[in-house]
């Protein structure tokens, strides 16, 4: 029982991070119908930007309050990551709109390889460890031999995810930007005819996706305390799995899928085998796509000529 509760907490934390990344996949897919393969690497870049900013704040400027430092790191990482994703869309995807079917996907794969190796070349291939930041825990249950703990950083991750999602939900449902996004999703040409700047809206979608990925990057850095240039690929694929599982194009679906993937991964590692946890995630991806391509909350896709 204690182990179960502990794994539940861990799974939800991990799921929150996946959910934040998955939103970037699902939004981009919704609006331009492409799998933004480089999104996982954008997440990794954000973790590095956060790492550099954190080091700059703590060692050079000398901020001692960890919460102030984290808040600044969050804002800085969101800004620079958004800039990176904006530039990627501008350089690698926008010229390919209207090109043949596989072109944007191949370009995105190239971008993903480029980003990972760019970070490897500029920052070095070794793991970059950060000193543990917030180590306080709350003991929830104590059965003598096993303590169920809820770390403060887990609380921060879950609360931050919930707050961001609420804000994001408001943005998409209630603001004119969200309306423009949903219009572009339905019919880009018609939206343009009605005076919506489609290019601008797509750019903003990439910016929002990157900002959420940056939040995930900061959380990831805080939670695991390590950054590596190769850390974009596997979390990226898992977040994409989450987006597919929840129903690609659906925002609540992305979060639900993220939480599910996080839970499945932690329970699989706890009860079956830790070696095969990535196999489990990849298998879920394949099984979902084969048997249930519309996902849990998505709409079935209608193929048109």
Partner 1 sequence: MAVQTAETAPAAAKAGDAGSLFAHAFKDALITGLIAIGLLGPLIGFQTIIIDGALGLGYRPGLLAVMVGIIFAGRLLLNLTVWSPNRVPKTRSGPSVFDRLGATVGPGVKPALLAFAAAFPFISFYAMGGWNESRYLIDLGILILTYVMLGWGLNIVVGLAGLLDLGYVAFYAVGAYTYALLATSTPVNEFFAGLLGETFWANWAFWICLPMAGLFAGVWGMILGFPVLRLRGDYLAIVTLAFGEIIRLVLINWVDFTGGGAGIASIPRATFFGIPFNASENGFAALFGLEFNPMHRIVFLYFVILVLALITAFATVRLRRLPVGRAWEALREDEIACRSLGINTTTTKLSAFATGAMFGGFAGCFFAVRAGFVSPESFTFDVSAMILAIVVLGGMGSQIGVAVAAAVMMGGMEMLRNLGFLTQLFGNDFDPSLYRMLIFGFAMVAIMVWKPRGLVSTRDPTIFLKERKSVSGDLVKEGHG
Q: Which residues, in sequence order, are CB contacts of 275 under 8 Å at separation 6+?
A: none
Under the criterion CB under 8 A, does residue 164 sit at the interface with partner 1? Answer: no
CA 303 to chain centre: 28
Under the criterion CB under 8 A, does residue 61 sit at the interface with partner 1? Answer: no
Under the criterion CB under 8 A, does residue 283 sit at the interface with partner 1? Answer: yes
CB of residue 219 vs partner 1: minimum separation in angstroms? 18
Under the criterion CB under 8 A, does residue 118 sit at the interface with partner 1? Answer: yes
Under the criterion CB under 8 A, does residue 8 sit at the interface with partner 1? Answer: no
Q: Which of 91, 141, 159, 163 binds partner 1 (CB under 8 A)?
A: 91
Nearest 5°: phi and psi at 135?
-105, -5
Q: Which of 163, 173, 293, 299 binds partner 1 (CB under 8 A)?
A: 293
CA neighbor of 197 nearest in space, from 185, 206, 188, 208 = 188
Residue with Cβ nearer partner 1 (31 or 84): 84
| Only segment of 85-93, 168-176, 194-202, 211-219 that touches partner 1 (CB under 8 A) | 85-93
CA 293 to chain centre: 21
Under the criterion CB under 8 A, does residue 99 sit at the interface with partner 1? Answer: yes
Q: In sequence order, what are the beta bridge partners of 128?
A: 227
Residue with Cβ nearer partner 1 (118 or 169): 118
Tokens of 140: 């929830």
Tokens of 301: 């896709």
Under the criterion CB under 8 A, does residue 119 sit at the interface with partner 1? Answer: yes
Chain length of the chain:
305
Q: Which residue has the tokens 């190239």?
A: 110
Residue 92 CB coordination number (10 Å): 16
Can you tell me the distance from the alpha carbon of 296 to that of 26, in angstroms, rounded to the nearest whole number?
13
Under the criterion CB under 8 A, does residue 116 sit at the interface with partner 1? Answer: yes
Nearest 5°: phi and psi at 196?
-90, 130
Residue with Cβ nearer partner 1 (87 or 163): 87
Q: Which of 1, 61, 62, 100 binds partner 1 (CB under 8 A)?
A: 100
Under the criterion CB under 8 A, does residue 123 sit at the interface with partner 1? Answer: yes
Under the criterion CB under 8 A, does residue 191 sit at the interface with partner 1? Answer: no
CA 192 to chain centre: 29
Instruction: Give the x-and-dash track for 242-281 against partner 1 (CB under 8 A).
Output: --x------------------------------xx-xx--
């Amino acid at each position: 029982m204690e182990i179960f509760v502990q794994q539940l907490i861990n799974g939800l934390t991990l799921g929150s991070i996946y959910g934040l990344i998955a939103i970037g996949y699902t939004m981009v897919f919704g609006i331009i119908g492409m799998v933004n393969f480089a999104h996982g690497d954008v997440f990794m870049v954000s973790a590095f930007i956060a790492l550099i900013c954190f080091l700059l704040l703590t060692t050079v400027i000398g901020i001692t309050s960890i919460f102030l430092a984290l808040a600044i790191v969050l804002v800085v990482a969101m800004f620079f990551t958004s800039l990176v994703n904006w530039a990627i869309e501008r350089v690698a995807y926008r010229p390919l709109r209207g090109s043949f079917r596989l072109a944007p996907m191949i370009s995105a794969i190239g971008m993903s390889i480029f980003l990972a190796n760019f970070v490897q070349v500029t920052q070095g291939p070794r793991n970059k460890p950060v000193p543990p930041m917030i180590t306080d825990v709350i003991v929830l249950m104590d059965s003598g031999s096993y303590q169920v703990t809820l770390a403060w950083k887990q609380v921060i991750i879950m609360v931050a995810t919930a707050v961001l999602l609420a804000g994001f939900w408001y943005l998409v449902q209630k603001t004119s930007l969200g309306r423009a996004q949903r219009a572009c999703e339905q019919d880009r040409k018609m939206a343009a005819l009605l005076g919506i700047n489609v290019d601008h809206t797509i750019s903003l979608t990439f910016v929002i996706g990157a900002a959420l990925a940056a939040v995930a990057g900061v959380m990831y850095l805080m939670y695991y305390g390590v950054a590596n240039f190769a850390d974009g690929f596997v979390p990226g694929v898992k977040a994409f799995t989450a987006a597919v599982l929840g129903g690609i194009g659906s925002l609540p679906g992305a979060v639900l899928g993220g939480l599910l993937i996080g839970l499945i991964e932690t329970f699989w590692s706890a009860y079956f085998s830790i070696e095969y946890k990535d196999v489990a995630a990849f298998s879920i991806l394949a099984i979902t796509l084969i048997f249930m391509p519309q996902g849990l909350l998505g709409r079935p896709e209608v193929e048109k000529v």
